[in-house]
Structure 1
Amino acid sequence: MKRRAITAALLVALGWWAVLSTPASAHPHVFVSARAEIVFGPDGAVTALKHIWSFDEAYSAYITQGLDKNGDGKLTPDELVDLAKVNMESLPEVGFFTTAKANGKAQEFGEPTEASLSFENKILTLTYTLPLKTPIKSVRSVGLEIGDPTYFVAFDIIDAPDAVITRDAPKGCVVRVARPPKLDAATQLKLAQEDITATPDMSGFQVTTRALVACP
């Protein structure tokens, strides 16, 4: 039941409700190239996470249909405001695809801020700041996990030095990123044959990216 609830929330958060009425197969259904920033406050406490998510071209084209209100062939942030609002209202249902831990204890998030969408080179990108409900003070290590454990949405943390970074961190803080291994061919084939309404059991696989921020 929990996996089904997560899948239903994903359909709402990412706009796939219209696809349910058409034949579709294969997991995952949405691909996201992601970056993240761990934001520190003036007192050295971790205060927020900033997400930058770029959706795949096919999904970007699908979800932005009919949003060019002035018909100029371009999508501006103003034309994407309502879509950004839908995402921000729905993503809490799936925990923002994010887990943050300090000293092994899961942290709660507050209301997201600074949410915006942009559309460039056929790619839709969502940017928003996710504040921690309680800033993490006296930071020694903070663990961050990004992704969808049901693999409905495939998050790919970009392979670049700025994939996961700190902002305004105390001197000496470093970030280590651990990406999940690629799924073997047999597993990929099995997932490709799944119906869109099915939620595969991914409990035996690591499909999320983990990052650890360590400070002296």
Structure 2
Amino acid sequence: MRNRIMTMALLALAAIPVPAFAHPHIFAQARLEVVAGDDGNVSELRNVWRFDEVFSSSVLLDFDKNGDLKLDAKELAELGETMRTSMADYHYFATITMNGATIGVQKPDVIHASLKDNQLLVIFAVKPAKPVPLKGRLTFGIYDPTMYTAIDFPTDGDLVLKGAAFQKCQHKVVRPDPDEVISQNTSTLTDAFFNDPTGTDMTKLFATRIEVSC
């Protein structure tokens, strides 16, 4: 069981003490599609994550119940359900803000997992916890608030807006420089701030995101 928890570190990080500015131990390349519905609200965030080979190998070892060195449909389904349950406390690494206010997300119906070319591929969609109309300033991104997992978007084209409603909006991809973020927030980026029990989360300052103005 302990091995399972460690393998799913990005999913159940509460058991792992991670100091501010921790170095990432898990790496994933991501694609995010933000979809707008015909009603002018954000309908869902579609995620595709491809994990590094080291982490993918550890997942294989933990979920390969029959020892055939591959994951069959049943084992992949168990992996997906483990992720769906464990990541809930971390809002599936999704960050949505509407005019500065953070918006949560609903639990996805399913997380699809597969193992291709020795890398774990995860595909799922989450819906905002409340209506997010395309008005004012919105931001969307994927980040791990503990900084244990590094989520990377290889190109700006991996953050995508979909839906006719976005045509009235302007957008840009923001890739913060960590050194600049630290220098501009030296007085507030402390261990106490990162562990604020009220839920303040400064790690979002480091997250690659797409900003939308409508």
TM-score by length of 1: 0.70
Are residue 96 (structure 1) and residue 92 (structure 2) matched?
yes
**Retained in 2: the 8 A contact 1:38–1:166?**
yes
Are residue 157 (structure 1) and residue 153 (structure 2) matched?
yes
- In structure 2, what is the Cα distance between the partners aligned to 1:165 and 1:204? 22
**Retained in 1: the 8 A contact 2:107–2:126?**
yes
**Retained in 2: the 8 A contact 1:51–1:127?**
yes
- For structure 1, the 5+ residue unaligned runs are 1-7, 21-25, 185-199
Q: RMSD value over aligned CA atoms?
A: 3.3
Aligned ranges 1:178-197 → 2 under 5 Å: 178-181=174-177
The one-letter amino acid paired with 2:9 is L
Return closer, same or farther for 1:212/1:203 CA change in 2, 3 Å cut-off.
closer
Residue aligning to 2:9? 11
What is the Cα deviation at residue 14 of structure 1?
5.8
**Retained in 1: the 8 A contact 2:96–2:140?**
yes
Q: Deviations over 1:54-81 (max 9, x none)?
A: 1111000111115445666543444311
Residue aligning to 1:31? 27
Are residue 208 (structure 1) and residue 203 (structure 2) matched?
no
Are residue 143 (structure 1) and residue 128 (structure 2) matched?
no
**Retained in 2: the 8 A contact 1:27–1:151?**
yes
- For structure 2, the 5+ residue unaligned runs are 1-5, 17-21, 181-193, 196-200
Range with bigger deviation, 124-133 or 103-112: 103-112
Greater strand fraction, Structure 1 or Structure 2: 1
What is the Cα deviation at residue 182 of structure 1?
5.9
- In structure 1, what is the Cα distance between the partners aligned to 2:51 and 2:10? 16
What is the Cα deviation at residue 154 of structure 1?
1.0
Q: Secondary structure at the match of 1:48?
A: strand
Are residue 168 (structure 1) and residue 163 (structure 2) matched?
yes
- In structure 1, what is the Cα distance between the partners aligned to 2:131 and 2:160? 18
Return closer, same or farther for 1:66/1:158 CA change in 2, 3 Å cut-off.
same
Aligned ranges 1:103-142 → 2 under 5 Å: 103-142=99-138
Residue aligning to 1:187? none
**Retained in 2: the 8 A contact 1:34–1:53?**
yes
Q: Secondary structure at the match of 1:83?
A: helix
Range with bigger deviation, 123-132 or 97-106: 97-106
**Retained in 2: the 8 A contact 1:181–1:206?**
no
- In structure 2, what is the Cα distance between the partners aligned to 1:137 and 1:204? 25
Count residues with an aligned counterpart: 184
TM-score by length of 2: 0.71
